[in-house]
Structure 1
């Protein structure tokens, strides 16, 4: 569904609201490293990122492997890289700082959350989702962080995980942007849950009932969920509301079911649209209905549809369709009567077929 791809791209713009973690650890660190970190922080705040890096690089050489000092220096290098827009380098430094497992829990949590945002901005969604899910289980996420996790799962096509979280987002924020409801529609559709998608589409419709696309989309989802009567009722309401849905829009909805390989659903929808006078019961639509019932292998409805069409058009090809059913069912007397009606206006090829079928019918009657 194109909408879900569009929503993914829009939502990623919410990420990367990063702020350096400026607090120092409570544990004792060497005065040399403390001075370097403090001076680097001041240089960063002044915008002198080159000086901040020089100070940190110098301190890096003196920090023991696996130490708290080393973790703090790498952490600060990560935030200097963020300030410089060097996100790949920032990811590398924050990963190293966290790997030591020496930072205070609160600082480490903030670093992991920021790292997740950086990873998402670089489309490394699997690792970003892992970090966010870890933090969600341990201490929960705020609304913005939950939104980021939804985006990650959506991009990974893990809709089973993304949908409940996206529902949390819209429940927590009544003024949530339409893009979140569009995302819920799109993800539910991609998961194959057309009924759920239709329910979220109704929310969009209530928000902007003058938009024809919302009515069209709702009817399409209801139709794909097998709710043909509801789809037709939606289109009837759109018509009564003065929303500009023309015959072409309705025909396209029927074609949508055909293209999806659901001729029975297409036939039911077309039947409902004609019953509610949203589409004319003209020869073209009646013939389409007969063809759809035939494709759906609903013999009874197909036969009735072809018979109604033939009685109205008196065309040879329509009568021959009826005759085909009678031939299959061995209704020889009825077949002869139908073939007689098919002779008017028949082509040479059709007359040849009529004579052949008349021979079958007459032979069958003579031997009965």
Structure 2
């Protein structure tokens, strides 16, 4: 920030000679002397002298007011070096409001003031200044600055509007800009746009975190099937391999309308010993095949569950499913087993076969 103020200061003289009111020789000499003192670090002296001169000339003609503005800028530079960004910003605000300062110079000071306001944690004022500056200027870095400031102030809808402009001018956003983009879309309630934007850059080289984030966004956007597809792809690519990743894969397939895929994963995991062949997992497998409406595999899975638990309720559920799908042979055997285990309701079902 201090360096940018100095660069601006050093660039003023050639500009002022051609586009600003002429300055008297003694004023130019005094400004040059103060500039040298500023570079040498005599900050207190510069502030005192520049302030006095600025106040003395502020009510004069255009040339005097132009000189007053330059003195205010010198004071701003010294204050910035003293780590007083708010006070420095106030001086630039005064400078750009004086008569004799043309529009281009006022715009430059406005942008510097915005940087100082941001450094002073005066974010709302910085936002107003940057917004004003961007109404007449095109600058991608400033657009990103404004977007970030709006996000920091949790003004998400405004941030999203400026984000669109920033992205349209940025072919390859940096990692920080990508993170900001996702944060803004999510907090602005634009999960679908966030997902679409993220999917454009998702590939086999993307990290596990990127795949997780994409799946999470799909869920937020109510696209359970997309979430399941993303998790499945990441699983197949080896991006996700933990036990909790497996169970979330199953849940996503069941919620996303692909229960058969969930059942296939469960069967493979059971056969390879990756998960325990217990009641919970067998019941989940049976339910998945039932949800998938695969008659043969569903009946086989329910039979395996009933054999494992030897519970009358499971034999009856197996029989009811077989009966509903027209397999009376399996249904009768299942109801008979349930009845033998003391299930009164199974007795009533068996009456259908008399």
TM-score w.r.t. structure 2 length? 0.68
Conserved 8 A contact 2:117-2:126:
yes
Secondary structure of residue in 1 paired with 2:5: coil
1:267 pairs with one of 255, 259, 263? 255
Is residue 19 from structure 1 mapped to residue 5 from structure 2 by the alignment?
yes
**Cα separation, partners in 2 of 1:54 and 1:193, compared to 1, 3 Å:** closer
Cα deviation 1:259-292 (Å, max 9, x = unaligned): xxxxxx9733783751562785875357579999
Conserved 8 A contact 2:51-2:72:
no
> How many pairs align?
311
Question: How far does residue 132 in structure 1 lie from its aligned partner after superposition?
Answer: 1.3
Q: How does 1:12-161 map to 2 (within 5 A)?
A: 18-20=4-6, 21-22=8-9, 23-24=12-13, 25=16, 26-29=20-23, 31-65=25-59, 67-100=65-98, 102-138=100-136, 140-161=137-158
Question: How far does residue 90 in structure 1 lie from its aligned partner after superposition?
Answer: 1.0
Q: How does 1:222-241 map to 2 (within 5 A)?
A: 222-241=218-237
Cα distance in structure 2, aligned partners of 1:167 and 1:272: 40
Cα distance in structure 2, aligned partners of 1:111 and 1:38: 19
Q: How does 1:243-322 map to 2 (within 5 A)?
A: 243-252=239-248, 267-268=255-256, 271=259, 274-275=262-263, 277=265, 280=269, 283-284=279-280, 312-314=304-306
Question: How far does residue 144 in structure 1 lie from its aligned partner after superposition?
Answer: 1.4
Cα distance in structure 2, aligned partners of 1:28 and 1:238: 68
Conserved 8 A contact 1:228-1:272:
no
1:209 pairs with one of 202, 205, 212? 205
Cα distance in structure 2, aligned partners of 1:313 and 1:16: 74
Which ranges in structure 2 are unaligned for 5 or more consecutive residues? 271-276, 318-330, 349-354
Cα distance in structure 2, aligned partners of 1:310 and 1:54: 90
Question: How far does residue 209 in structure 1 lie from its aligned partner after superposition?
Answer: 1.6
Q: How does 1:342-361 map to 2 (within 5 A)?
A: 344=341
Conserved 8 A contact 1:195-1:221:
yes
**Bigger radius of gyration:** 2
Question: How far does residue 254 in structure 1 lie from its aligned partner after superposition?
Answer: 7.6
Cα distance in structure 1, aligned partners of 2:122 and 2:312: 60
Is residue 220 from structure 1 mapped to residue 220 from structure 2 by the alignment?
no
